[in-house]
Amino acid sequence: GKKVSRTTNLQIIKKPAVIQIQTDKPIYKPGDTIKFRILVLNQELKPVTKLKSVNVKLTDSKRNLIREWTYGKLDNGVFQSQLELANFVPLGSWNLKVTANDGEVKQKSINVSEYVLPKHKISIKSPKIVTYKDQHLELIVEAMYTFGKPIKGKLTLTTKHLVINTN
């Protein structure tokens, strides 16, 4: 094979801060509380010490300003807050915009919709007869969404000793 070599110059732009926006859920319903935090990190991805605050704006899907946190105080590079949504709010893509004092800007879309949890089916397979002499009871529990995907979660099983008098 033929050897190819090429040299090019790269322009490195140093950003004074890296902003990350985290929310507690991917989708919110009217009436939910949006909980979020903003991390402001330096080039080494450590909390910034020079910046003391950020400006945060939350706008709804119609671009109405819902809430503004001016000079949101950074605590070790973190600002966190929350906002309870009213029961009747515009649905769609809301916007959380963060501006640091150095001019760095970051935005995150927040989805507000009337979602409904998927329907599911739970099946329990057990022996036909269980007596008090049995030391173990083996059950098979399957929880599936109606579209066939298994549901992950915890199961709490409570048993009771029930005596049936056949006389």
Q: Compute CA distances 129 → 125, 135, 137, 138, 140, whole Å.
A: 12, 13, 10, 12, 15
pLDDT digits (tens, 9 = 90+) for 104-134: 899 999 999 997 777 888 888 888 887 777 7
Residue 52 lies in a domain: yes
Q: What is the pLDDT of residue 79?
A: 95
Question: At 36, which CATH number?
Answer: 2.60.40.1930
Number of helices (H) and strands (E) in the chain: give both, helices first: 0, 10
Q: What is the pLDDT of residue 146?
A: 79
Examine the pLDDT at 38 and tell me if it is beyond 90: yes
Mean pLDDT score across all residues of the chain: 87
Indicate the pLDDT class of residue 147, thresholds 50, 70 and 90: confident
Residue from 96, 24, 110 nearest 55 by CA? 96
| C-beta atoms surrounding 67 within 10 Å | 12
Domain that holds residue 90: 18-112
Q: What is the pLDDT of residue 148?
A: 82
Residue 143 lies in a domain: no
Q: What is the pLDDT of residue 163?
A: 66
Maximum mean pLDDT: which of 13-22, 86-95, 142-151: 86-95
Q: What is the pLDDT of residue 30?
A: 95
Which has more confidence, 7 or 55?
55
Residue 154 lies in a domain: no
Q: What is the pLDDT of residue 162?
A: 66
How many Cα atoms are found within 13 Å in the side-chain-facing hemisphere of 139? 13
Residue 135 lies in a domain: no
Q: What is the pLDDT of residue 166?
A: 66
Strand 65-73 relative to strand 27-28, pairing: unpaired
* Contact of 56 with 100, CB cutoff 8 Å: no
Residue 150 lies in a domain: no
Residue 147 lies in a domain: no
Q: How many domains does the chain have?
A: 1
Q: What is the pLDDT of residue 78?
A: 94
Residue 131 lies in a domain: no
Which has more confidence, 16 or 70?
70
Residue 126 lies in a domain: no
Sequence-ordered list of residues with C-beta below 8 angstroms from that of 51, at least 6 positions apart, any chain: 17, 40, 74, 77, 100, 101, 102
Sequence-ordered list of residues with C-beta below 8 angstroms from that of 109, at least 6 positions apart, any chain: 93, 94, 95, 96
What predicted TM-score, i.e. pTM, was given to this entire model?
A: 0.63
